[in-house]
């Protein structure tokens, strides 16, 4: 087992989430003792902008934890015990493209769902593998990478194919954010909920929500029929998902459950089950990427600037489930706590009627040797079919990346439920290829010399 105090490296150190995650680490130092925090990023200017804020958060809690920022993987990962990954390959500039290109063709434009998520996946698989190789080269041999980098479903599948034995655990904060809202509705702390859940990342359903052994899904169903997955006054206990667009997303749980009341859907299912309504309400010239750049990013950068000028750090970043969850998972991995968390794992029969090797999202006991998935049994035909189609789309995208196959990329786009026709798929993919010319060079070459030219 790993021995504390730990050296923790954060890949994607310049992320808007870094200060919040570090704050979550600071309030849990008794559970997760730290000797050093290292930020690693390929954009040193961005990382250096955020670093003073991070250092202040650390110093408010500890004078002894060493703090390092670097763009050198050897410095970042040598002897590291735990690595948190939160890279956004292509940054917000490319997120904007992922969202706006499909919208130009009347298709959902989203960071992780539909063609936007597929394009983001094409950019991220190989940098993620590079990160794993650097960590394996320099870090403690028992080090774990806990990965938030999106699109997590595709990243997980790419890593399974290319680095099947790597000590990487892919996680998402959406289920735990949904559980936070459930807790607020039920009037209990989210840690008191024990849930059953099955699906893929950003594509799954809660089937049971136990509180003290009693299933509260019927009570939630009655509440959601009136208010969606929000408390009656829509007060959000966690600021991360409380912008107006998120409030709309929580409310959209209602129309989905009005039609299919059995299970409580992951909010991201809105993009697959009601895409036309989503597109109608999206502004093709101002998407979530713009909201985030004008909101979360701007606020953090302004605070960093003000701190530099005045020595006073304004309240400028979120501390909530996102940071708390990754720290919980890291504690369970490091100390073999066997806590039950919803994570992304190889299926191995957890969902009986999905492929054995699919990367699924289910509850798992998190041990020092990795996650042990809990068996969710066979799922109904409706859900199984939706899942199989999404899985095929994501798996073909990974194969397209590995084989340099234009045809498989086109199949991945065509199979995605958000894309109505083959012609839409092709038009969007071709625009994506142009927009991603700095990120998919090897693929472009293969596509031009091979199938794309034929
Ligand atoms: P951000 O752009 O603010 O931060 C990402 C950082 O990653 C940037 O500083 C960028 O320079 C860096 N980066 C890009 N490529 C890199 C590489 N190859 N090596 C090292 N660093 C690299 O983005 P953000 O909004 O703060 O989000 C960060 C990431 O976390 C994104 O991937 C986002 O999708 C993900 N995220 C995931 C979840 C989840 O549920 N899994 C939740 C929230 C955020
Ligand atoms: C949720 C999802 C993440 C996603 C994030 C986007 O937390 O689980 O996977 O990256 O939302 O939030 P944003 O505020 O950047 O749109
Ligand atoms: Mn997520």
* CA dihedral angle for residue 224, residue 230, residue 232, residue 234, rounded to 10 degrees: -150
In a domain, residue 96? The reply is no
In a domain, residue 404? The reply is yes
- State the burial class of residue 436 (Cβ atoms within 10 Å of its Cβ: 0-12, 13-18, 19+): buried
In whole angstroms, give the CA distance from residue 176 to residue 194.
11
> What confidence score (pLDDT) does residue 453 get?
40
Task: Say yes or no: CB of residue 202 within 6 Å of ligand 1.
Answer: no
Q: How far is the CA of 30 from the centre of ligand 2 (A)?
A: 29
In a domain, residue 400? The reply is yes
Of 1-15, 253-267, 315-329, the poorest mean pLDDT is in 315-329
> Mean pLDDT throughout 245-254?
96
In a domain, residue 297? The reply is no
Please write the tens of the pLDDT for every residue from 81-140: 999 999 999 999 999 999 999 999 999 999 999 999 999 999 999 999 999 999 999 999
Categorize the per-residue pLDDT at 451 as very low, low, confident or very high, splitting at 50, 70 and 90: low
> What confidence score (pLDDT) does residue 441 get?
80
> Mean pLDDT throughout 143-151?
98
pLDDT of residue 452 exceeding 60: no
pLDDT of residue 234 exceeding 90: no
> What confidence score (pLDDT) does residue 442 get?
80
The residue ranking higher by pLDDT, 437 or 239, is 437
The values of phi and psi at residue 46, to 5°, are -65, -45
In a domain, residue 234? The reply is no
Of 237-246, 285-294, 423-432, the poorest mean pLDDT is in 237-246
In whole angstroms, give the CA distance from residue 206 to residue 229.
13
Q: Which of 41, 98, 173, 328 is catalytic?
A: 173
Q: Ligand 2 pocket by C-beta < 6 Å: which residues?
A: 111-112, 150, 172-174, 288, 292
Please state the atom number of ligand 2 nearest to the C-alpha of residue 173: 8
Q: How far is the CA of 79 from the centre of ligand 2 (A)?
A: 31
> What confidence score (pLDDT) does residue 454 get?
38
Ligand nearest to the CA of 16: 1
> What confidence score (pLDDT) does residue 350 get?
98
What is the domain count for the chain?
1
Owning domain of residue 435? 390-452
pLDDT of residue 262 exceeding 90: yes
In a domain, residue 418? The reply is yes
> What confidence score (pLDDT) does residue 130 get?
97
Please write the tens of the pLDDT for every residue from 73-82: 999 999 999 9
> What confidence score (pLDDT) does residue 236 get?
66
How high does pLDDT run on average in the chain? Answer: 96
Q: DSSP letter string over 210-235?
A: EETTEE-HHHHHHHHHHHSSS-TT--
Q: How far is the CA of 92 from the centre of ligand 1 (A)?
A: 9
17, 80 Cβ separation under 8 angstroms: no
> What confidence score (pLDDT) does residue 210 get?
98
Categorize the per-residue pLDDT at 238 as very low, low, confident or very high, splitting at 50, 70 and 90: confident
Q: Which of 120, 148, 268, 439 is catalytic?
A: 268
Q: At what angle do helices 441-449 and 381-403 cross, to 10 degrees?
A: 90
> Mean pLDDT throughout 291-300?
96
In a domain, residue 237? The reply is no
In a domain, residue 435? The reply is yes
- State the burial class of residue 381 (Cβ atoms within 10 Å of its Cβ: 0-12, 13-18, 19+): exposed
Q: How far is the CA of 357 from the centre of ligand 1 (A)?
A: 27
Best probe residue, ligand 2, of 89, 98, 112 (max atoms within 8 Å of C-beta): 112
The answer to whether 356 is a known catalytic residue is: no
Does pTM top 0.75 for this prediction?
Answer: yes
């Amino acid at each position: 087992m790993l021995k504390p105090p730990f050296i923790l490296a954060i890949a994607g150190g310049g992320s808007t989430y870094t200060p919040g995650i570090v704050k979550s680490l600071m309030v849990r130092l008794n559970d997760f003792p730290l000797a050093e925090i290292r930020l690693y990023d390929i954009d040193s200017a961005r990382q250096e902008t955020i670093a003073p804020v991070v250092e202040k958060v650390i110093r408010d809690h500890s004078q002894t934890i060493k703090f390092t920022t670097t763009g050198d993987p050897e410095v970042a990962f040598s002897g590291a015990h735990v690595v948190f990954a939160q890279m956004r390959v292509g940054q917000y500039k490319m997120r904007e493209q992922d969202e706006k290109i499909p919208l130009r063709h009347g298709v959902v434009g989203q960071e992780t769902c539909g063609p936007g998520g597929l394009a983001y996946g094409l950019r991220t698989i190989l940098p993620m593998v590079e990160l794993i190789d650097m960590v394996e080269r320099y870090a403690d041999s028992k080090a774990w990478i806990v990965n938030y980098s999106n699109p997590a479903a595709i990243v997980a599948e790419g890593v399974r194919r290319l680095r099947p034995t790597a000590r990487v655990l892919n996680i998402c904060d959406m289920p735990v954010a949904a559980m936070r809202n459930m807790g607020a509705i039920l009037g209990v702390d989210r840690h008191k909920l024990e849930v059953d859940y099955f699906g893929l990342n950003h594509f799954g359903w809660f089937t049971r929500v136990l509180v003290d052994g009693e299933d509260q899904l019927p009570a939630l169903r009655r509440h959601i029929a009136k208010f969606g997955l929000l408390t009656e006054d829509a007060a959000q206990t966690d600021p991360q998902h409380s912008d107006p667009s998120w409030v709309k997303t929580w409310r959209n749980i209602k129309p989905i459950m009005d039609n299919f009341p059995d299970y409580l859907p992951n909010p991201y299912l809105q993009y697959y089950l009601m895409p036309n309504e989503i597109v109608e309400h999206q502004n093709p010239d101002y998407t979530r990427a713009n909201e985030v750049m004008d909101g979360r990013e701007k606020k953090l950068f302004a605070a960093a600037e003000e701190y530099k000028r005045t020595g006073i750090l304004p309240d400028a970043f979120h501390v909530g489930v996102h940071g708390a969850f990754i720290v919980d998972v890291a504690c369970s991995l490091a100390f073999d706590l066997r806590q039950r968390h919803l994570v992304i794992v190889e299926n191995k029969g957890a969902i009986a009627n999905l492929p054995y090797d699919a990367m699924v999202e289910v509850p798992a006991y998190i041990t020092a040797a990795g996650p042990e998935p809990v068996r969710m049994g066979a799922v109904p035909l409706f859900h199984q079919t939706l899942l199989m189609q999404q899985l095929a789309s994501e798996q073909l995208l990974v194969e397209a990346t590995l084989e340099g196959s234009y045809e498989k990329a086109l199949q991945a786009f065509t199979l995605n439920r958000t894309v109505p026709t083959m012609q839409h798929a092709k038009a969007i993919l071709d625009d994506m290829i142009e927009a991603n010319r700095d990120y998919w060079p090897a693929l472009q070459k293969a596509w031009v010399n091979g199938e794309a030219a034929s």
